[in-house]
């Protein structure tokens, strides 16, 4: 094929110029809608483009005009298949799109080495910016000497001494709202189910609980603070044990997904689902379908992704605003399980 000298068969701007009988620069003008091309000439160029099926090569374009507009951003996360993170990605995508950017998404499986590798790969590709949900506080390559001018936004991690913007859920405030809600329904004997406090988010949620209880002058029993189980059925067993005691709690506040599901299972198992109140941090699948439906403080991952994207693109555009710690809040969804009144 004489018209397509390239190995991959695609015509170049040079081919278009030849067919249209103009210079490279004129083709470039037409492609970029620059003014100052005689209409007839422009038309001739457009015809040549259509005839050859020419599509400009963004890579080449970007190489020369690297200072100008961004084209890709990177998103490094433990697992995009996790619905929470895929919603974050969707929010990011939406913002990227409004800047004519695409998102390179990559999962690290919480492997710090893979995370470092991903950051390197992103830098090699000269992404305009990076959003990262760091694996267990691992900083690794996320340092100024590697990043240089490439902006990074951290998602849902602890504010460290790093100089970076952070977007996260309001763990403390959300748990405060949940606890206050149960208290407002008359409860004071409240059990707490949560993640292992090695996670900063788990610590923030737990302190939201402690703080609220003590602010109201209620005691928190150590036996009623359960942490660290990892499957719904394990949670079910522990919660059933807790509720088996007649002087058990009148309400349960659950700080995460799996413990909420386990609590639902335990309550149904003991037929206590209409006697013991339950309120959970983070919505659960079918949370509005079970009986009674579950009162929750939802996280809004789409919003987290959008916020992260917005600050990222402001940095890309050169914003020198002070480092941001952007906290996404939401509203309790009252569905029934959290509005059960205490029975003893």
Binding stretches for a copy of itself (CB under 8 A)? 6-10, 53, 55-60, 62-63, 66-67, 71-72, 79-83, 85-87, 89-90, 93, 97, 102-107, 120-121, 123-126, 145-146, 148-149, 232, 261, 264-265, 268, 284-286, 289-291, 302
Determine if 26 is a binding residue for DNA (CB under 7 A): yes
Window contacting DNA (CB under 7 A); options: 7-15, 83-91, 138-146, 246-254: 7-15
Q: What is d(CA 152, CA 85) in angstroms, rounded to the nearest whole number?
A: 17
In which element (H, E) is residue 98 found? helix 83-98
- Partner in contact with 1, chosen from a copy of itself, DNA, none, beta carbon below 5 to 8 Å by kind: none
Cα–Cα separations (whole angstroms), residue 286 to 208, 239, 272, 291, 331 = 26, 20, 19, 10, 18
- Partner in contact with 43, chosen from a copy of itself, DNA, none, beta carbon below 5 to 8 Å by kind: none
Q: What is d(CA 194, CA 49) in angstroms, rounded to the nearest whole number?
A: 61
Footprint on residues 27-86 left by DNA (CB under 7 A):
28-29, 31-32, 35-38, 41-42, 54, 56-57, 60-61, 63-66, 68
Name the one residue in this structure whose structure tokens are 């403390």. 172
- Cβ(13)–Cβ(55) below 8 Å: no
Closest to a copy of itself by CB, 78 vs 250, is: 78
Name the one residue in this structure whose structure tokens are 């900063």. 200
Report, in Å, the least distance between residue 329 CB and DNA: 41
Determine if 2 is a binding residue for DNA (CB under 7 A): no
Closest to a copy of itself by CB, 122 vs 209, is: 122
Closest to a copy of itself by CB, 45 vs 127, is: 127
- Partner in contact with 274, chosen from a copy of itself, DNA, none, beta carbon below 5 to 8 Å by kind: none
Longest dimension (CA), the chain: 91
- Partner in contact with 323, chosen from DNA, a copy of itself, none, beta carbon below 5 to 8 Å by kind: none
Report, in Å, the least distance between residue 98 CB and a copy of itself: 13
Contacts of 230 (CB under 8 A, 6+ apart): 258
DSSP letters for 268-297? HHTT-TTTSEEEEES--TTTTTSSSBPEEE
- Partner in contact with 302, chosen from DNA, a copy of itself, none, beta carbon below 5 to 8 Å by kind: a copy of itself
- Cβ(185)–Cβ(151) below 8 Å: no
- Partner in contact with 86, chosen from a copy of itself, DNA, none, beta carbon below 5 to 8 Å by kind: a copy of itself
Structure tokens at 289: 């379908």
Report, in Å, the least distance between residue 28 CB and DNA: 3
Q: How far is CA 337 from the centre of its chain?
A: 28
Q: Identify which of 38, 2, 41, 26 has the alpha carbon closest to the alpha carbon of residue 13.
A: 26
Going by their DSSP bridges, the two strands 165-169 and 152-155 should be labelled as parallel
Structure tokens at 276: 């013991």
Closest to a copy of itself by CB, 128 vs 204, is: 128
- Partner in contact with 186, chosen from DNA, a copy of itself, none, beta carbon below 5 to 8 Å by kind: none
Q: Site size for DNA, by CB under 7 A?
A: 29
In which element (H, E) is residue 41 found? helix 39-52
Footprint on residues 111-170 left by DNA (CB under 7 A):
none
- Partner in contact with 12, chosen from DNA, a copy of itself, none, beta carbon below 5 to 8 Å by kind: DNA
- Partner in contact with 145, chosen from a copy of itself, DNA, none, beta carbon below 5 to 8 Å by kind: a copy of itself
- Cβ(30)–Cβ(17) below 8 Å: no
> Coil, strand, or helix at residue 144?
helix
Q: What is d(CA 64, CA 70) in angstroms, rounded to the nearest whole number?
A: 12
Closest to a copy of itself by CB, 250 vs 260, is: 260
Q: Under the rule (CB under 7 A), what is the footprint of DNA?
A: 6, 12-14, 22-26, 28-29, 31-32, 35-38, 41-42, 54, 56-57, 60-61, 63-66, 68
């Amino acid at each position: 094929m004489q018209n397509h000298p390239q190995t991959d068969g695609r015509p170049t701007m040079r081919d278009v110029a030849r067919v249209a009988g103009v210079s490279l620069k004129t083709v470039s003008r037409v492609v970029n809608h620059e003014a100052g091309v005689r209409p007839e000439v422009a038309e001739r160029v457009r015809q040549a483009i259509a005839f050859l099926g020419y599509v400009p090569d963004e890579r080449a374009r970007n190489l020369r005009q690297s200072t100008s507009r961004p084209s890709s951003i990177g998103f490094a996360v433990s697992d995009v298949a996790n619905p929470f993170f895929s919603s974050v990605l969707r929010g990011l995508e939406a913002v990227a799109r409004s800047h004519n950017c695409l998102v390179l998404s990559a999962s690290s499986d919480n492997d710090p080495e893979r995370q470092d590798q991903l950051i390197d790969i992103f830098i090699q590709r000269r992404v305009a910016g990076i959003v990262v949900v760091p694996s267990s506080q691992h900083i690794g390559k996320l340092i100024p000497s590697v990043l240089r001018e490439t902006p990074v936004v951290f998602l849902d991690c602890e504010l460290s001494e790093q100089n970076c913007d952070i977007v996260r859920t309001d763990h403390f405030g959300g748990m405060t709202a949940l606890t206050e809600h149960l208290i407002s329904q008359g409860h004071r004997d409240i059990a707490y189910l949560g993640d292992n406090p090695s996670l900063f988010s788990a610590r923030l949620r737990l302190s939201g609980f402690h703080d609220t209880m003590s602010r109201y002058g209620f005691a928190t029993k150590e036996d009623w603070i359960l942490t660290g189980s990892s499957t719904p059925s394990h949670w079910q067993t522990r919660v059933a044990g807790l509720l088996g005691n007649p002087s058990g709690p009148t309400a349960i506040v659950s700080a995460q997904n799996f413990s909420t599901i386990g609590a639902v299972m335990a309550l149904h198992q003991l037929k206590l689902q209409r006697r013991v109140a339950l309120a959970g941090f983070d919505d659960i699948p079918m949370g509005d379908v079970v009986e009674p439906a579950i009162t929750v403080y939802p996280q809004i991952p789409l919003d987290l992704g959008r916020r992260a994207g917005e600050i990222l693109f402001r940095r890309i555009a050169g914003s020198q605003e002070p480092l941001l710690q952007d906290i996404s809040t939401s509203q309790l969804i009252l569905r029934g399980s959290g509005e059960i009144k205490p029975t003893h």
